[in-house]
């Protein structure tokens, strides 16, 4: 019952809750505990994620995208709570392979978006990107969510332009805590020249 009360509060103060989550790296242990509980019981947390992002309903596993061996440029990418770091801010036009290492403690993903400024990314009430509302052609592709401790890669044919790399996972924990990885800071610029 306590969880339901908190959920109601979160609905009214989603932004404040996100800010608290963002400040509280120490809360990570608790969140992870709840994660484990959720998967063990098959609870509603996965349902919430699926409706928000369509990416986290099944157990995450690395599914490489494209053929890394064909990449003209390889960009090493680090995913963690709550940032995406690249070893190069740009690449020449062509096949760009992102080799993403998840050094964090939660699943992460990489969505490649072209030609949309950060302030123009369409978002929902949780601060997550609404992929369906992106301009036509802006959604280039994505490395779907994969687990902590793993490395996954995606190779995309990129034309010159300004890009964003975004982790768009949203999780609603059993205690009502909502985490939008994008809102928490998992976004970075990338330029193709
Ligand atoms: Cu993430």
Task: List domains and CATH numbers for the chain.
Answer: 2-192 (2.60.40.420)
Average pLDDT, integer, range 142-167: 98
8-12, 32-36, 125-129 — most confident range: 125-129
Helix, strand or coil, per DSSP, at residue 15: helix
Encoding tokens for residue 19?
């800010």
- The string of pLDDT tens digits covering residues 25-82 is 444 333 333 343 333 333 334 333 433 444 445 578 999 999 999 999 999 999 999 9
* Interval between CA 81 and ligand 1 midpoint (Å): 7
* Interval between CA 28 and ligand 1 midpoint (Å): 13
pTM of the model: 0.71
* Interval between CA 30 and ligand 1 midpoint (Å): 17
pLDDT for 58 equals 59
Q: How confident is the model at residue 3 (pLDDT cuts 50, 70, 90)?
A: very low
* Interval between CA 181 and ligand 1 midpoint (Å): 5
Contacts of 107 (CB under 8 A, 6+ apart): 56, 60, 145, 146, 147, 148, 169
* Interval between CA 145 and ligand 1 midpoint (Å): 8
């Amino acid at each position: 019952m306590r969880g339901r009360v908190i959920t109601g509060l979160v609905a009214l103060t989603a932004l404040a809750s996100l800010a608290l989550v963002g400040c509280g790296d120490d809360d990570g242990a608790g969140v992870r505990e709840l994660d484990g509980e959720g998967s063990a019981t098959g609870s509603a947390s996965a349902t919430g994620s699926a409706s928000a992002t369509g990416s986290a309903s099944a157990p995450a596993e690395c599914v490489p995208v494209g053929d890394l061996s064909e990449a003209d440029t390889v960009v090493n990418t680090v995913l963690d709570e709550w940032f995406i770091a690249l070893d190069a801010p740009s690449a020449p036009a062509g096949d760009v392979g992102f080799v993403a290492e998840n050094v964090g403690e939660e699943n992460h993903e990489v969505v490649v978006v072209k030609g949309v400024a950060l302030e123009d990314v369409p978002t929902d009430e949780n601060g997550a990107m609404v992929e369906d509302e992106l301009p036509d052609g802006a959604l280039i592709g994505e490395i779907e969510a994969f687990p902590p401790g793993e490395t996954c890669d995606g190779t995309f044919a990129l034309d010159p332009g300004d890009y964003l790399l975004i982790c768009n996972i949203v999780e609603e924990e059993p205690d009502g805590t909502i985490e939008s990885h994008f809102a928490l800071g998992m976004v970075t610029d990338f330029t193709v020249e």
